Amino acid sequence: MKNKRKIPLVVISDVHLGTYGCHATELLHYLKSIQPKTLVLNGDIIDMWNFSKSYFPASHMNVLRHIIKMSTNGTRVIYITGNHDEVLRKYSDLILGNFELVDKLILDLDGKKAWVFHGDVFDSSTQGYAKIIAKIGGKGYDLLILINSFVNWLLVLSGKEKRSFSKIIKDSVKKAVSFITNFETTAAEIAIDKKYDYVVCGHIHKPQMKVVKNENGSVMYLNSGDWVENLTALEYKNSKWFIYEYKKEHYNLLESKEEAVVENYMTKILS
């Protein structure tokens, strides 16, 4: 695409390359449509917990190739480690040209401080024996995604909308809802104590943008969501944050080469 959207900062997380649930093709469409000055990969980009030699499709490799291409072409790419790619933490603070590997990040955005990290530090299920159970659960999650894909195929054939089983389960289980709420509150309160203006996380696959207040102050809490269930990213432009949500129809327009129309349309929906 010639007329890419120029964005100062884009944050994506929880892509889970190497798993059946990853929407790599959709992510590649999105990445090809933007030209960010800085691209933050906020953890769980490559799923090394569930990595298998028998499953890493070309579409997943193409995402990595394109990110490298973006870095080569001048985009600052910052990879923040998560729990599913924690093996990379032994190489933290590595810098190769425009590519950086870190565990956490502080950005200066128009005079305001943004604290960016994956968020698994708040999750006890990523520690010790619970971590082993979580890895086993990851295999079950992959199976659920496969079943969900087959059911969605049948739904589309019958003219009905797709449904996400995992999303329905998460939204209906009180314990999961409580965990997400506690996660957001904990991240926000620590950020307030540290006097940050923004706290940006991933990990819980729940896109969010809200102001959290307590007796000590306030902070804007943001979560980039994921590219398994929600297909979302965070974009920062003109001193404002936006949650971007992938829509297939945006890219149908791209394929018809109506680039000026698409640029105006994308600007309108994100403003």
* Distance separating alpha carbons of residues 235 and 113, to the nearest angstrom: 16
Query: Tens digits of per-residue pLDDT, 164-178?
Result: 655 655 555 445 556
C-alpha–C-alpha distance, residues 170 and 168, integer Å: 6
- The string over 99-129, giving b where at least 16 C-beta atoms fall within 10 Å of a residue's C-beta and e elsewhere, is bbbbbebebeeeeebbbbbbbbbbbeebeee
pLDDT range class, residue 137, cuts 50, 70, 90 = very low
Amino acid at 80: I
Please check whether residue 207 is in contact with residue 225, taking contact to mean a CB–CB distance below 8 angstroms: yes
**Cβ–Cβ under 8 Å, residues 248 and 240:** no
Q: How far apart are CA 80 and CA 86, in angstroms?
A: 10
Q: Write out the two tokens for 110.
A: 């128009």
Q: Say which range, 14-23, 163-172, 192-201, 210-219, has the weakest mean pLDDT.
A: 163-172
Question: What pTM was estimated for this model as a whole?
Answer: 0.77
